[in-house]
């Protein structure tokens, strides 16, 4: 499959002949979730965005943001990140031959994401502060220097991410009642809604935030956001109004899910559907289980990132290994006992 700029160029701000930096992102699976469907009493599908090249949906926005940065002649790309934007920026910057710099909250990003950003050769800066402070700082820095800022305040990110809505509409022939999606900085829900509107399909948009990081639910900024779902640990979303507009205009809502609900959905997806996503991604399914989707018959839950991103949370939540002596009886007991 071609990358998404090539596939959707007529609906993206790229002309023929523009430079394209791609890892053939997009075209991710939309898989039915039979067990979850039975629990909900509706047809539920999972959009597996962890199948993107760096393991999250951020690659959709990054192919566009980095391609545009190259077109503009940028030498350096920067972002503030809870992890996945950093991993994605690092990979696409490496591919483009740009210098990548990422500012992450110190000690607050999942191990896999840190490994990716470092392996791809980005300059990784651990800020003694949270994501919201990191974003404010990179915005000011990009104002003063010729640096491409590729957070989702960058329009090209939203343009790239809207293509996931196109793919869902194509896969389901436009028959979709509701979309459930985790909300952090609120770029992705903004992008999906834009994509759906462009193709004239209007599912209800249900955005879910972690209870300890739910500014949209409370209608006010959260000074010290806290949740196990590090990718959505954000207290002051950049796309606040647009996200609220998507939910209101579509007849959906925003609601909170507790860490316990997120982790239960995380385990359920892995153990019952064979799908390993990261904790933040499971917020979409946790929200559907906790709040429903207004009687929708056909629902898509967006699973934003791959479970391997965050092995520490997985090991803390999963069963333990069974130690065993190297002899038949012991192995028999271990396997069949
Ligand atoms: C970035 C991210 C989110 C949140 O997306 P926003 O556009 O910031 O709302 C959710 N899940 C994962 C895995 C992410 O990386």
Specify the CATH architecture of the domain 4-56+160-316: 3-Layer(aba) Sandwich (3.40)
For residue 9, the tally of other CB atoms under 10 A from its CB is 15
> Is 281 near ligand 1, meaning CB less than 6 Å away?
yes
The verdict on domain 58-155 having CATH code 3.40.50.1100 is yes
> Is 252 near ligand 1, meaning CB less than 6 Å away?
no
> Is 184 near ligand 1, meaning CB less than 6 Å away?
yes
Mutate to test the pocket of ligand 1, among 164, 232, 262 (most ligand atoms within 8 A of CB): 232
- How confident is the model over 86-110, as pLDDT tens digits? 999 999 999 999 999 999 999 889 9
> Is 277 near ligand 1, meaning CB less than 6 Å away?
no
- Retrieve residue 12's tokens: 């993206």
Specify the length of the chain in residues.
337
Average the pLDDT over 224-250 and give the result.
Answer: 96
| Residue ranges of domains in the chain | 4-56+160-316, 58-155
Read off the pLDDT band of 210 (50, 70, 90). Answer: very high
Position 31 scores a pLDDT of 98
Average the pLDDT over 240-256 and give the result.
Answer: 98
DSSP string, 236-291: S-TTHHHHHHHHHHHT-EEEEE-HHHHHHHHHHHHHHH---B-HHHHHHHHHHHHH
Nearest CA to ligand 1 atom 4: 184
Global pTM exceeds 0.95 = yes
Nearest CA to ligand 1 atom 13: 305
- How confident is the model over 133-144, as pLDDT tens digits? 999 999 999 999
Position 152 scores a pLDDT of 86
- Retrieve residue 292's tokens: 């429903």
Determine phi and psi for 124, rounding to 5 degrees: -105, 120
Average the pLDDT over 119-140 and give the result.
Answer: 95
Average the pLDDT over 15-42 and give the result.
Answer: 98
Mutate to test the pocket of ligand 1, among 82, 188, 234, 314 (most ligand atoms within 8 A of CB): 188
Per-position b or e across 216-226, b if 16+ CB within 10 A of its CB: bbeeeebeebe
Read off the pLDDT band of 290 (50, 70, 90). Answer: very high
Burial class (CB in 10 A: 0-12, 13-18, 19+), 307: buried
Average the pLDDT over 330-335 and give the result.
Answer: 96
Strand pairing of 30-32 and 43-48? antiparallel
> Is 112 near ligand 1, meaning CB less than 6 Å away?
no
> Is 261 near ligand 1, meaning CB less than 6 Å away?
no
Is residue 1 scored above 80 in pLDDT? no
Let me know if the fold of 4-56+160-316 is the same as that of 58-155: yes
């Amino acid at each position: 499959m071609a990358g998404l700029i090539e596939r959707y160029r007529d609906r993206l701000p790229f002309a023929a002949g523009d430079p394209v930096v791609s890892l053939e992102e997009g075209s991710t699976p939309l898989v039915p979730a039979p067990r979850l469907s039975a629990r909900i009493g509706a047809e539920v599908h999972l959009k597996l965005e962890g199948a993107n090249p760096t393991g999250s949906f951020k690659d959709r926005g990054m192919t566009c943001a980095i391609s545009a940065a190259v077109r503009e002649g940028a030498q350096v790309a920067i972002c503030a990140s809870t992890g996945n934007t950093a991993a994605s920026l690092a990979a696409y910057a490496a591919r483009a031959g740009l210098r990548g710099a990422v500012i992450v909250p110190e000690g607050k990003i999942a191990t896999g994401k840190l490994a990716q950003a470092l392996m791809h050769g980005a300059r990784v800066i651990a800020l003694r502060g949270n994501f919201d402070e990191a974003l404010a700082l990179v915005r000011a820095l990009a104002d003063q220097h010729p640096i491409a800022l590729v957070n989702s305040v960058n329009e090209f990110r939203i343009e790239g991410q809207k293509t996931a809505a196109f793919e869902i509409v194509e896969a389901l022939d436009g028959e979709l009642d509701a979309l459930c999606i985790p909300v952090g900085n609120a770029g992705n829900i903004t992008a999906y809604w834009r994509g759906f509107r462009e193709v004239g399909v209007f599912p209800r948009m249900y955005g879910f935030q972690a209870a300890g990081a739910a500014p949209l639910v409370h209608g006010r900024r959260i000074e010290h956001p806290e949740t196990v779902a590090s990718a959505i640990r954000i207290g002051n979303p950049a796309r606040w109004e647009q996200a609220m507009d998507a939910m209101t205009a579509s007849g959906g809502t925003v609601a909170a899910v507790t860490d316990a609900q997120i982790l239960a959905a995380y385990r359920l997806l892995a153990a019952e559907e064979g799908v390993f996503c990261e904790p933040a991604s499971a917020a979409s399914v946790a929200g559907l289980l906790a709040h429903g989707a207004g009687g929708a018959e056909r629902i898509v839950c967006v699973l934003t990132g791959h479970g391997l991103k965050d092995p520490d949370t997985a090991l803390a939540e999963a069963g333990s290994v069974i130690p065993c002596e190297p002899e038949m009886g012991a192995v028999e007991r271990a396997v069949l006992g």
